[in-house]
Chain A
Amino acid sequence: MADYSSLDIRQRSASTGTPPDIRRQQEVAKLIDVSKCIGCKACQSACEEWNDLRDDVGINVGVYDNPHDLTAKSWTLMRFTEYENAETNNLEWLIRKDGCMHCTDPGCLKACPSPGAIVQYSNGIVDFVEDHCIGCGYCVKGCPFNIPRISKTDNKAYKCTLCSDRVAVGQAPACAKACPTGSIMFGTKEAMIEQANDRVVDLKSRGFDKAGLYDPAGVGGTHVMYVLHHADKPQLYAGLPNDPKISPLVAFWKGGAKVMGLATMGFAALAGFFHYVTAGPNEVEAEEEEEAIDMKARGARRSADEIRPS
């Protein structure tokens, strides 16, 4: 599974070969609109259920966050922050869904010494391939967001897969499908940025002047993005890094120059690629095409369709 025989792999850990570049897919992204999030943990629940994870039943330590941190069996969790906004005198309960950001330039993949244990698909998903994982923990050190966790039972690294299995058959990730308020959206990265821009306008109209999109350039952008009310202060949201970067140590160890070269090439390829997909030669069956057109017509009915991306 997940080697270069698949034409959809963009990068592969500890591999020197150049991936074939004949089939690039449009990039996907999950957009988490923190301003719509009610912290219900449906995403956590759906993630555990879909991925057959069952973490330990913990204890209460005086906060709503449960489990208290990501684990090999909890790939996402809500982090709750009570913030007293000195400017408005309002209490704000900032609730952020934490989990893998699926960086365009993934520090974990860069750090991983085991060939093929971490792959990045051309749609942007960064996935761990446990069969190849040696449990060294370098991915943990390489991640600027502190996401991967090593399992105590099988000594392998685990994290969110962005439900690559679901995305592969055209389904949204389990968390996005479940999210009751549509706070978690899933689609092309382009569509998600557009969606985020709409949301920012609405938030500004409600007095959040610094509302904005979190898609940090330091890691080449991410495939999990946030709409934040206070985009100028990501740290407010349970320590979301203001300007995440791959540790220079990791970059050095993996040979930064080569990596950067690859990434640049990736971006260049991308520009031409959008046209390819839009007009694309994908085999679309007549019936699907009909339904896609139908959806375009429905697209006009904003309120009905935009509440759910899928």
Chain B
Amino acid sequence: MNVQVSRRGLLKGIGVGLAGGSLGALGFGALEPAMAASVRPFKLAQMKETRNTCPYCSVACGIILYSLGDRSKNAKSSVMHVEGDPDHPVNRGTLCPKGSSLLDFIKSETRTKYPMHRTAGSSEFKRVSWDFALDRIATLLKEDRDKNFIAKNGDLTVNRWTTVGFLGASATSNETAWVTYKVIRSMGALTFDNQARV
């Protein structure tokens, strides 16, 4: 599912936005294609639009991600440009200096791409497989839980585990947060916090 409103509705929204600036019939005339071509080419013409939300602050500006690639089975789509969603009631198409450069965030050279592992005393990361990483982490967690789980404090049933800490994020979706909550709390973990304070 991409844009949930009908395309018609969205296009109309944008059209209204432009007319609102009384630009429809200005600038270079009646949007004559030949005219547009004689100026500078408009690069978004062939791109797909996807509605999304800016991941930074809590204003939660609506954004439109412009991507190339139709996401058919063998095509990889890639975001080429990010702009404010003109229909959004809060930001109304605007974006701050962070939102305006989301493209460089998405395409950052310092994104993580593969599971990496550092062993005790080593001075470098080594690439590992997901299976190795997940099996090893599951084992480490279970080992410590079995060792340090406190079932009783005197007569009281307390069923807690405090010796491995968990930190939730601040930009993950509610759905991610919920599955994280389920997994962590079901282990009886209490050393659990998020980024609300910083």
Contacts and interface: CB of A to CB of B under 8 A. Distances in A.
Contact, chains A and B (beta carbon distance below 8 A)? yes
A288 interface: yes
A292 interface: yes
A168 B95 contact: no
Say whether chain B's binding surface is mostly helix, strand, loop, or mixed: loop
B133 interface: no
A187 B97 CA distance: 23
A41 B101 CA distance: 11
B36 A169 contact: yes
B75 interface: no
Interface stretch (A133-141, A212-220, A277-285): A277-285
Contact of B100 (A42, A165, A284): A42
A150 interface: no
A179 interface: yes
B94 interface: yes
Interface string A266-309: 00000000000100101110001001101100110000010111
Given A2-B39, A291-B12, A40 B27 contact: no
Given A8-B35, A172-B23, A291-B15, A41 B40 contact: no
Interface string B72-111: 0000000001111010000111111111110110000000
Contact of A295 (B19, B43, B83): B19
B166 interface: no
Nearest to A309: B21
B22 interface: yes
B97 A45 contact: yes
B39 A49 contact: no
A177 B93 contact: yes
Contact of A310 (B31, B39, B93): B93
A180 B96 contact: yes
B16 interface: yes
Contacts of B27: 25, 28, 123, 167-168, 170
Contacts of A42: 94-97, 99-100
A120 interface: no
B18 interface: yes
A284 B91 CA distance: 30
B28 A188 contact: no
Interface in B27-53: 27-31, 35-36, 38-43
Interface residues of A, number: 58
A308 B40 contact: no
Interface residues of B, number: 44
Given A26-B26, A283-B30, A294-B16, A49 B40 contact: no
B92 A308 contact: yes
B35 A168 contact: yes
A187 B22 contact: yes
Interface string A164-199: 111111111010011110100011100100000000
Contacts of B101: 45, 48-49
B35 A171 contact: no
A305 B35 CA distance: 29
A50 interface: yes
Interface in A142-174: 161, 164-172, 174
A167 B21 CA distance: 12
A132 interface: no
B95 A295 contact: no
Nearest to A182: B94
Contact of B23 (A8, A127, A186): A186
B94 A178 contact: yes
B167 interface: no
A45 B100 contact: yes
B95 A46 contact: yes
A115 to B, nearest CB: 17
A186 B83 CA distance: 17
Given A8-B29, A295-B16, A164 B38 contact: no
15 contacts: A2-B38, A44-B97, A165-B43, A168-B28, A170-B18, A174-B100, A178-B100, A180-B95, A187-B22, A187-B26, A284-B24, A291-B15, A294-B16, A295-B16, A310-B23
Given A171-B23, A177-B93, A310-B18, 7 more contacts: A121-B28, A177-B84, A177-B94, A178-B99, A187-B26, A299-B20, A308-B92
